[in-house]
Amino acid sequence: MFSISKRSEVEPFHAMDVLAEATKRRAAGHPVISMAVGQPSHSAPEAALKSAREALAEGRIGYTDALGTAGLKSALSRHYRDRHGLEIDPARIAVTTGSSAGFNLAFLTLFDAGDAVAIARPGYPAYRNILGALGLNVLEVPVTAETHFTLTPESLEAAQKESGIRLKGVLLASPANPTGTVTGRDGLKALAEYCAAHSIAFISDEIYHGLTFAGEEASALELTDEAIVINSFSKYYCMTGWRIGWMVLPERLVRPIERVAQSLYISPPELSQIAATAALGASEELDRVRASYAANRELLLDRLPRIGLAPASPMDGAFYAYVDVSRFTNDSMGLAKRMLAEINVAATPGLDFDPLEGHRTLRLSYAGSHGEIAEAVERIAVWLK
């Protein structure tokens, strides 16, 4: 009998149990409101859909260059000029199959098996799982009120000292999932400088850019050409299912990424690249969607503390409230299951994001419609009374 690899023994997404149950209940006719998934309820922008329809009518969708079409890379370069005042050579941009492929490519080209990479705890669970599956060591560094819920040179130093692990990489998301933390320019600069001084690769996940509601949204590219920046059309651009992301790379990393990408993915999907190029010009429509998240956020900031669900972290960006449920339970997974069964509201238990402390937290996504979010909060309020 063949054996199954050790590398595949990654943690499951606990949230999937809740999600599967939510889908089942909805199919059975229950009025389920999902605050569990990190995806916009809005569709891709009209301009993206129009371009995709036209391309489909023409019919021929094929491979593209492994690192994406020249059209999308030029449009992304213009995006950095318009939004950040930066001149980014399109040759430094790699288009990827969602940011998820970007993580694979970055980890494979930067690190060898056994190397160690620091991530924040709580943090996006796929980081831990991808790194683990690739045979890399993960150093989870706690982020708390003391460090303003972000990584700092001091917290990285302390974690290395305590564990005896020397880092080869640091990965930080700003805005962050699930904490909503926005790491401003000074914080990013301190991390970039620390990494440069210690020959550590600095990977900046900027997938929630465009969704900063408080604080300063800076790109690591404003501070250094050495950062590996990863971004995506999934969140601000409302294009999760199109599976398109991008990276901005230090020049010397472009060819290694290209070599690995050629064999791993051949190319990102062409239809999605066509749609994504058009989406970059749709900021009027997308800013209206963003305004609806802002209204949802205001509602949650007002209501959650009053119903005993104080945010456990700042809610400055992305579209999540990470709330402390310890007043009610020590078992957030059980709470999420009961909430779904009894009032048809789906939320994500904190264990996915924080294996140590997540039994005391829940993540609520506010990327849904305002009416749905308001209704969900009222159901929760009555239920918790």
What angle in degrees, to the nearest 10, is found between the helix axes of 153-163 and 185-197? 40
Minimum CB–partner distance for residue 211 and ligand PLP (Å): 11
Q: Residue 319 class from Cβ within 10 Å (0-12 exposed, 13-18 middle, 19+ buried)?
A: buried
Minimum CB–partner distance for residue 127 and ligand PLP (Å): 8
- Please identify, using beta-carbon distances, which residue of 124 and 194 lies nearer to ligand PLP: 124
Minimum CB–partner distance for residue 124 and ligand PLP (Å): 4
Here the tokens at position 295 are 């209204």
Minimum CB–partner distance for residue 62 and ligand PLP (Å): 23
DSSP label of 145: G
- Please identify, using beta-carbon distances, which residue of 227 and 344 lies nearer to ligand PLP: 227
Q: Positive or negative, the Cα torsion across 374, 317, 107, 69?
A: positive
Minimum CB–partner distance for residue 199 and ligand PLP (Å): 25
Alpha carbon distance 348, 235 (integer Å): 18
Q: Catalogue the E-assigned strands of 192-305.
A: 201-205, 228-232, 245-248
Q: Closest Cα partner for 211 from 173, 170, 171? A: 173
- Please identify, using beta-carbon distances, which residue of 207 and 333 lies nearer to ligand PLP: 207
- Please identify, using beta-carbon distances, which residue of 102 and 311 lies nearer to ligand PLP: 102
Asked whether the beta carbons of 194 and 156 are under 8 A apart, the reply is yes
Positions that interact with ligand PLP (CB under 6 A): 38, 98-100, 124, 173, 177, 205, 207, 232, 234, 240, 245
- Please identify, using beta-carbon distances, which residue of 224 and 240 lies nearer to ligand PLP: 240
Minimum CB–partner distance for residue 117 and ligand PLP (Å): 14
- Please identify, using beta-carbon distances, which residue of 40 and 90 lies nearer to ligand PLP: 40
3-state class of 281 per DSSP? coil
